[in-house]
Amino acid sequence: MTERVLITGASGFVGRRLVESLGGAGYSLRALTHRRRLDASGVEERSVDLAQAGDWSEHVAGCDLVVHAAAALDPAPSEAVADAVNRRATLALAEAAAEAGVRCFVFLSSMAALGFHPDSGLLSPLDTPRPTTAYGRSKLAAERGLSKLAGPMRVAVLRPPTVFGPGEYRNFLSLVRAVDTGLFLIPGRGDNRMSFCNLETLVDAIAWALRDQRARSVLHVADPPIRFRQAVSVIADVLDRPLPPVPLPMPLARAAALGCEVVFRALGKQPPLSLGRLRTLTSDAALDVSGTERLGFRSRHDFRSGVEATIAWYRAQGLLRPR
């Protein structure tokens, strides 16, 4: 019998690729969308606003598996919105799924739930969470609520870092655009480790979590850690933009970040570089995925191929300046 999967956020960055992948693997799909339509052949599509949804029973009825990818993204408009969408709606959906006999519930959380741990090395799912944003706090609250669900439904919480791939137009695009200027200076030595997650890695991990009984509780999903200067060098090489030969000394980097904050916020705009962003770019903190690997899932995608596909999509969408 063909298994039916309910996918929330199905018209989003991750959701669209997931629909393609799971549909191609032979699953029957029910897709929940909100602002954008999916219009995929052979997919049952329903429009739902997570913030307003009340009774989820009609949406989970007849489904064997659920992937909850919809969310109020970072930066969330407010604590209240983040909590309503990312925690309350998640738990209501999970409870309805459990009551309907769904066998597996996969929740897409985020490294933001773990929070910022500067210079902590590799971070495991057992490290104490210290979320610093409304988005991160709401994701952590959802994780904790899911851990208390009773019953036979298996729950797998996947925590990726920054996800990149065709269709991404947020954090990774900002980094690529900065490098594309040809003026991007690597702050400090650039030897700090950070984690990225290829879209294909995340989609593979979701498919694995749906079928493997060992996938449960909180799991870190990411590609192998990479030094920041190596990541920037790969991006620059794919863009065919030379990097300045000298790094930006940290005292000057901090002064530049502070100046950006003052000037851009006075103009009512988001600064391209802030002290918080500088700390993120220079801290040694990456996800430890060894626990996930011991359970049977390992990334099979390299950073460069993902960057090439992502930049090709950016160019096709006119998101980068012409070469």
Q: Which domains, from first to last, does the chain contain?
A: 4-159 (3.40.50.720)
Pick the closest to residue 133 from 95, 107, 171 (CA basis): 171
Rounded mean pLDDT of 122-140?
94
| Residues 229 and 284: beta-carbon distance below 8 Å | no
Banded model confidence at residue 231, pLDDT cuts 50, 70, 90: very high
Comparing 19 with 245, which gets the higher pLDDT? 19
CA 61 to chain centre: 28
Candidate ranges 88-92, 186-190, 260-264; pick with highest mean pLDDT: 88-92
Rounded mean pLDDT of 237-262?
89
pTM of the model: 0.93
Measured from the Cβ of residue 189, the count of other Cβ atoms closer than 10 Å reads 12
Banded model confidence at residue 45, pLDDT cuts 50, 70, 90: very high
Using the predicted structure, report yes or no on whether residue 301 has a pLDDT greater than 70: yes
For residue 275, CA distances in Å to 141, 195, 260, 278 come to: 27, 20, 9, 5
Least confidently predicted of 46-60, 92-106, 189-203 = 46-60
Rounded mean pLDDT of 134-153?
95
Banded model confidence at residue 229, pLDDT cuts 50, 70, 90: very high
Please write the tens of the pLDDT for every residue from 169-211.
Answer: 988 998 999 899 888 889 988 999 999 999 999 999 999 999 9
| Residues 316 and 262: beta-carbon distance below 8 Å | no
The predicted structure's pLDDT at residue 266: 87
| Structure-block tokens of residue 49 | 């606003």
Please write the tens of the pLDDT for every residue from 7-32.
Answer: 999 999 999 999 999 999 999 999 99
Per the listing, tokens 């999509």 go with 313
| Residues 80 and 98: beta-carbon distance below 8 Å | no
The reply to whether omega before 244 is within 30° of 0 (cis) is no
The predicted structure's pLDDT at residue 247: 80
User: How much of the chain, in percent, has pLDDT values that exceed 90?
Assistant: 72
Average pLDDT, the chain: 92
The predicted structure's pLDDT at residue 53: 66
Q: At what angle do helices 171-180 and 303-316 cross, to 10 degrees?
A: 80
Banded model confidence at residue 280, pLDDT cuts 50, 70, 90: confident
Spatial distance between the Cα atoms of 31 and 23, rounded to a whole number of angstroms: 11
Banded model confidence at residue 118, pLDDT cuts 50, 70, 90: confident
Banded model confidence at residue 225, pLDDT cuts 50, 70, 90: very high
The predicted structure's pLDDT at residue 300: 92
Round the CA-based radius of gyration of the chain to a whole number and report it.
20
